[in-house]
Amino acid sequence: MDYPNDQAPGAPVRSGIPEHGRIPKYYAVKARIAALLEELGEGGVIPTERDLAERYDVARETVRQAVRDLVLEGRLRRRGRGTVVAGPKLAQPLSLASYTEGVRRQGRTPGRSLVTLDRFPCPEPLAAETGIGRGEPVWHLERVLLADDERVGLESTYVAVARVPRLDTDFDPDSSFYGYLAAQGISFGDADERIETVLATPREALLIGTPPALPMLLIHRISRDTGGRPLERVRSLYRGDRFSFTTHLQG
């Protein structure tokens, strides 16, 4: 049987054919643009919507939807007024290793930009999660996560002031918090994590520099030290187009 190029078995668009067999026009265009990305390589600038519409003989809105999908998947990214081929996603291990270690393993330079470091009495919901006494002073450390100076996430850490009383004077906000804890003689024992997909709030999107409609990966973590005492409560928001997570399972 003869197939049109976009419908040949094994072609990129094949997996997107619904049961009724009708391929959405934008999806066929998306597959053709995806093939173009392989030719351009990372950092390559794709043609304008008008040029792509003329090349594939479709409406500009069809091209716009195809490009929007590729941006959301992390295969394209906006740069200035153009759109370029994105590099591979950062594969962050689900482990007690720090963000710094995970990014460095992939040959990227980790960094952080301080948003806020303040202290306040521990509210009831946080006390229930961490075992910290209600009303006890708690640090809130909020930082934008960077990889090669690209904003890729937002992290909020809550820790009892009693555990790290000099956090506001001794800690470099651009450094690893886990490294700082280790220098204080505090070791991690275990942690519970929960992962979900969310949309960033307008404030979060502004801090990370992404559209509010971009899907995010949200990780909630409660960590304990080697003695089983609650240590930190972390809320980490990662760009869904720039991150994936890995873990090792053994039966």
Per-residue pLDDT tens over the stretch 94-148: 665 667 777 777 778 888 999 999 999 999 989 988 888 999 999 999 999 998 8
Of the CA atoms within 13 Å of residue 117, those in its CB half-sphere come to 19
pLDDT tens, residue by residue, 26-49: 888 888 888 888 888 888 888 889
What domains can you pick out in the chain, each with its CATH number?
5-85 (1.10.10.10), 90-246 (3.40.1410.10)
Task: Note the pLDDT of residue 7.
Answer: 43
pTM of the model: 0.69
CA-to-CA distance for 43 and 62, rounded, in angstroms? 23
Task: Note the pLDDT of residue 108.
Answer: 80
Task: Note the pLDDT of residue 95.
Answer: 62
Task: Note the pLDDT of residue 94.
Answer: 63
Reply yes or no on whether the pLDDT at 18 is more than 70: no
Identify which has the larger pLDDT, 21 or 70: 70
For every residue of the chain, DSSP letters joined together read ----GGGSTTSGGGGG--TT-PPPHHHHHHHHHHHHHHHH-TTPBPPPHHHHHHHHT--HHHHHHHHHHHHHTTSEEEETTEEEE--PPEEEESSSS-HHHHHHTTT--EEEEEEEEEEEEPPHHHHHHH-PPTT-EEEEEEEEEEETTEEEEEEEEEEETTTSTTHHHH--TTS-HHHHHHHTT--EEEEEEEEEEEEPPHHHHHHHT--TTSEEEEEEEEEEETTS-EEEEEEEEEETTTEEEE-----
Place 159 in a pLDDT band, splitting at 50, 70 and 90.
Answer: very high
Partners of 222 in beta bridges: 192, 233
Task: Note the pLDDT of residue 114.
Answer: 96
Place 6 in a pLDDT band, splitting at 50, 70 and 90.
Answer: very low
What's CA 68's distance to the chain center, in Å?
A: 18
- For strands 188-199 and 215-225, give the pairing: antiparallel
- For strands 243-246 and 90-93, give the pairing: parallel
- Provide the b/e sequence for 167-193 (b: ≥16 CB within 10 Å): beeebebeebbbeebeeeebebeeeeb
Reply yes or no on whether the pLDDT at 179 is more than 60: yes
Reply yes or no on whether the pLDDT at 180 is more than 60: yes
- For strands 188-199 and 230-239, give the pairing: unpaired
Task: Note the pLDDT of residue 93.
Answer: 63
Task: Note the pLDDT of residue 232.
Answer: 92
